[in-house]
Chains A and B, each alone.
Chain A
Amino acid sequence: MSYQSLQTNLADQGYVASDDLAVALQLALSLGRPLLLEGAAGVGKTEIARTLSAVQDTQLIRLQCYEGLDASQAIYEWNYQRQLLAIRASAEDGQTGKAVEDRIFSRDFLLERPLLAAITQDVSPVLLIDEIDRADEEFEAYLLEILSDFQVSIPELGTITATTRPIVILTSNGTRDLSDALRRRCLYTYVPYPDRATELAILNARCPDIEAQLAAQIIGFVQKLREEELEKTPGIAEMLDFAAALMGLGIADLTEDPAILQSTLTTLLKTQSDQASITPEVAGRIAGKAA
């Protein structure tokens, strides 16, 4: 599959991918390598995994990383409560020893977490490891082993080898530096904020019945707003919310009513100081420029 056809397939699902991203995705698919996506929040890193799973017609398995995430939440865990009850029940039946042990350490009592689930599917799923930079370094190191071998060893059961190799997408917002070891094992693409034309294409793909003039105004406004000094720069999702809000209110022109424009800005500005810094005058000026 060429990257252009991948791009078309993604576009059919409503995702406008840049050439850089499409080539990287195609390589990740054909070479079987994990793909690391970095970029500011809200540029559509997570969305790409979701769309890719739709394009490939496979399941999306998502592992959201956070500080303190460990192997038992990411890979597997024994269902302790069920095991305990099973022991109780078998004690009443008079069973003891080896038989009970074999039973409680079987696949029935194993709770599959995302990583184990990802390698035991019949069809290669898309495995999204979201915000890997939030996880601790130990977990990152653990991930290396899984990503290179695609097998999990469970002391009581033995090694579970992958039946399928998942398509792995990792995302990072850059809250901390990732290790070289992880970066080396992945293909890498930096996802910037989209340019005007791309963002317009995204908006048109998501809201097909938006008027051309309003769409151009919205994109111009958001792009200009990103140049302002803000604590949280609005991403694509915020832009879409903004568009939805304007359409919901039946606005046809951004410069029409400053008061309504100001009230819809809550979809774009997410901190108190950002809202304070974009006064109606500033918003009006930006809207004027964008028009």
Chain B
Amino acid sequence: MSRVTKFAARDPGPAARMTGFIAHLRENGLRLGVAEADLALAALTQIEAIRPDDSRRALRAVCTGCKEEAERFDDLFDSFWMDMGRVKQKTVPTQSAPPSDNVHSSRDAKGEDAGSAGSATAPDDRGDSDAAGDGTGKLIASETSNMAQKDLREMVRPDEIAKAEEVARLIGAALRDTRSRRRIAARRGDRLHFRKTIRSSLATGGEPLRLMKKRRPDRTRKIVALCDVSGSMTVYAQVFLAFLAGLMRADMQADAYLFHTRLVRITEALRDKDAMRAIGRLSLMADGFGGGSKIGPSLMRFADTYAKRFVDGRSVVLILSDGYDTEAPDLIGKALTKLRKRGCKVIWLNPLKGWADYAPVAAGMAAALPHLDLFAPANTLGDLAALEQELTQL
């Protein structure tokens, strides 16, 4: 049981602690402003703030905004307020450098870390470990392997993202529609349909009692991208990551996921204003990058969970993968069938297809083929850009 953090005697008071807490949350990726700090303080006056659990509940209601944040909140709360009775020396983090106006490029230039999530407490009192927190660095073997942790920022350059953004915009536009100016009759339209109104007024002696409406037909398409980042795809990951980052920035409706042996939704992370920081956040989430690939189970998981919320008849699901799967291939077919039931289009982009004598012999790929609306090569951003033509015809 962790105990409540103590605060240094010179600590300026509850308001400062609360701003410190909000800053702590903000550092960990929650988007909170000054108003939330104010509201959080107000909320604490409405409950018995002396009881940690009540405070936790109240602050969770104020500071979180979605399920993922609500799930992470407990850890963040513990690491700030329940720090095993330690004395926190400063509540409000001091600004070490003046904030830069240029948000977009600062990260890459300084090579800063995007700030890691998690507890402020080092597990320093667990048995006889050599690494016990004496402050000196020592290289020792770790039991939990984090070999798979890879900083994705090393793989992607800002200029590539800019280029990919352009491509993504083109693809988005191709899928969106060549919007016609014609309007069609609709029960709930934004304009009056004069011809129909006058026509129906004949029945009421020329009195236009019923107003008919018309509107522009709704033809938008939403892109959902699923990118395979397993070992066999590592060489192409660079292009695809840039593309995903570009896509998310170009199209506010798009949705993106990574999969290797698991499926991770990266939409929120990629929406960050700073492209490099977005990729940095991705590195934290993409634990397992370059590992094994379980395409079937990942797709199935997608079809069972996220697809229910985000995929409908106006969605286009882009799968970026080479089709090499360690699991039974028929699962891919089943997952795609399930996805297709939602009425979406499914496009598979395979980097291997660009090779001269490629044939979809990989069992996974063969199983997927009958369910695809389009199967196309994609090795470079150029290939992706060339897709525009074909996508228009979907």
- Point out residues on A near B: beta carbons under 8 Å: 2-3, 19-20, 23-24, 26-27, 30-31, 33, 35-36, 38, 68, 70, 80-81, 84, 88, 173-177, 180, 183-184, 186-190, 229
Q: Complex formed: what's the CA distance from A26 to B47 in Å?
A: 9
Question: In the bound complex, do residue A188 and residue B70 qualify as a contact, i.e. CB atoms below 8 Å apart?
Answer: yes
What 0/1 pattern do residues 65 to 104 of B give for CB contact below 8 A with A? 1110011000000000000000000000000000000000
Question: In the bound complex, do residue A27 and residue B66 qualify as a contact, i.e. CB atoms below 8 Å apart?
Answer: no
Interface status of B46 (Cβ within 8 A of chain A) = yes
Instruction: Report if A184-B66 is in contact (Cβ < 8 Å); known contacts: A26-B47, A31-B43.
Output: no
Interface status of B328 (Cβ within 8 A of chain A) = no
Question: In the bound complex, do residue A183 and residue B42 qualify as a contact, i.e. CB atoms below 8 Å apart?
Answer: no
Give the segment of B1-9, B54-62, B169-177, B319-327 that binds chain A: B54-62
Q: Complex formed: what's the CA distance from A174 to B265 in Å?
A: 14
Question: In the bound complex, do residue A3 and residue B54 qualify as a contact, i.e. CB atoms below 8 Å apart?
Answer: yes
Question: Which residues of chain A come closer than 8 Å to B155, judged between CB atoms?
Answer: none
Instruction: Report if A27-B70 is in contact (Cβ < 8 Å); known contacts: A68-B188, A84-B207, A176-B309.
Output: no
- A-B pairs with the 6 shortest C-beta distances? A183-B65, A23-B57, A24-B61, A187-B61, A30-B46, A190-B70
Q: Complex formed: what's the CA distance from A226 to B190 in Å?
A: 43
Report A25 CB to chain B, min CB distance, Å: 9
Question: Which residues of chain A come closer than 8 Å to B208, judged between CB atoms?
Answer: 84
Q: Which of A23, A24, A175, A187 contacts B309 (CB 8 A)?
A: A175
Q: Complex formed: what's the CA distance from A24 to B54 in Å?
A: 10
Question: Which residues of chain B come closer than 8 Å to A180, judged between CB atoms?
Answer: 31, 65
Instruction: Report if A184-B65 is in contact (Cβ < 8 Å); known contacts: A26-B47, A27-B58, A80-B211.
Output: yes
* B66 to chain A: closest residue by CB: A183
Question: In the bound complex, do residue B47 and residue A3 qualify as a contact, i.e. CB atoms below 8 Å apart?
Answer: yes
Report B248 CB to chain A, min CB distance, Å: 12
Report B323 CB to chain A, min CB distance, Å: 24
Question: Which residues of chain B come closer than 8 Å to A189, judged between CB atoms?
Answer: 60-61, 70
* B211 to chain A: closest residue by CB: A80
11 more A-B contacts (CB under 8 A) besides A24-B58, A35-B61, A229-B304? A36-B65, A38-B66, A38-B67, A84-B207, A84-B209, A174-B309, A175-B309, A180-B65, A183-B65, A190-B67, A190-B71
Interface status of B194 (Cβ within 8 A of chain A) = no
Report A88 CB to chain B, min CB distance, Å: 8
Count residues on chain B whose CB falls below 8 Å from chain A CBs.
33
Q: Complex formed: what's the CA distance from A187 to B70 in Å?
A: 12
Q: Which of B36, B54, B188 contacts A23 (CB 8 A)?
A: B54
Question: In the bound complex, do residue B304 and residue A187 qualify as a contact, i.e. CB atoms below 8 Å apart?
Answer: no
Q: Complex formed: what's the CA distance from A70 to B70 in Å?
A: 31
Q: Complex formed: what's the CA distance from A177 to B64 in Å?
A: 15
Q: Which of A30, A70, A88, A187 contacts B62 (CB 8 A)?
A: A187
Instruction: Report if A70-B43 is in contact (Cβ < 8 Å); known contacts: A38-B67, A187-B61.
Output: no
Q: Complex formed: what's the CA distance from A19 to B47 in Å?
A: 12
Chain B positions 19-54 with a Cβ under 8 Å from a chain A Cβ: 31, 33, 35-36, 39, 42-43, 46-48, 53-54
**Residue of A27, A35, A190 with most partner-chain B CB within 10 A:** A27
